């Protein structure tokens, strides 16, 4: 039996599009790949902002290597900028996603503790649970 880490999910419901689960906490995918993550979540203006920040990040790293006349300097500068720029989406990314869902007429349904999004959505629709906080285990 595989032991999976449990996470807290907020479930949002839309009458046409169904349920969406939004995890709470730090988003590693938003930290590592901010523009890709924002596109995946359909975050519009935030996507454009993150694409602009990423483009600027690569330009700064290239310019730093040019000024120092050391192309090898580009890599550590780029990694430092990636951490600096990715930190904010990693911290607030799930809140951005939840706000976007509310803007698209999704309504908060409940909070679930589960090992994955699909399991959280299944538990949210299970009639055996009737509380606002539900724990779903394998």
Higher pLDDT, 3 or 87: 87
Q: pLDDT at residue 12 above 50?
A: yes
pLDDT of 16-69, one tens digit each?
999 999 999 999 988 988 888 888 888 888 888 888 888 888 888 888 877 777
Higher pLDDT, 2 or 136: 136
pLDDT at residue 2 in the model: 52
- The H or E element that residue 112 is part of is strand 107-114
pLDDT band for 131, please (50, 70, 90 cuts). low
pLDDT at residue 68 in the model: 78
pLDDT of 64-112, one tens digit each?
877 777 777 778 888 888 888 889 889 989 999 999 999 999 999 988 8
Collect all residues with Cβ–Cβ distance below 8 Å to 6 and sequence separation of at least 6.
113, 114, 115, 135, 137
Pairing of strands 18-23, 7-14: antiparallel
pLDDT at residue 94 in the model: 92
pLDDT at residue 26 in the model: 93
Both tokens of residue 136? 């779903």
Q: pLDDT at residue 1 above 70?
A: no
């Amino acid at each position: 039996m595989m032991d999976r880490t449990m996470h807290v999910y907020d479930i949002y419901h839309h009458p046409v599009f169904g349920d969406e689960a939004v995890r709470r906490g730090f988003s590693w995918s938003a930290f590592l790949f901010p523009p890709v993550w924002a596109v995946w979540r359909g975050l519009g203006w935030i996507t454009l902002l993150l694409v602009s920040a990423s483009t600027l990040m690569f330009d700064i790293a290239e310019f730093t290597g040019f000024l120092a006349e050391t192309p090898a300097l580009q890599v550590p500068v780029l990694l430092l900028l990636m951490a600096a720029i990715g930190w904010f989406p990693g911290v607030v990314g799930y809140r951005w996603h939840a706000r976007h869902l509310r803007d698209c007429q999704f309504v908060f349904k409940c909070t679930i503790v589960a090992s994955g999004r699909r399991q959280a959505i299944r538990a949210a629709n299970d009639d055996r649970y009737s509380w606002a906080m539900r724990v779903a285990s394998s």
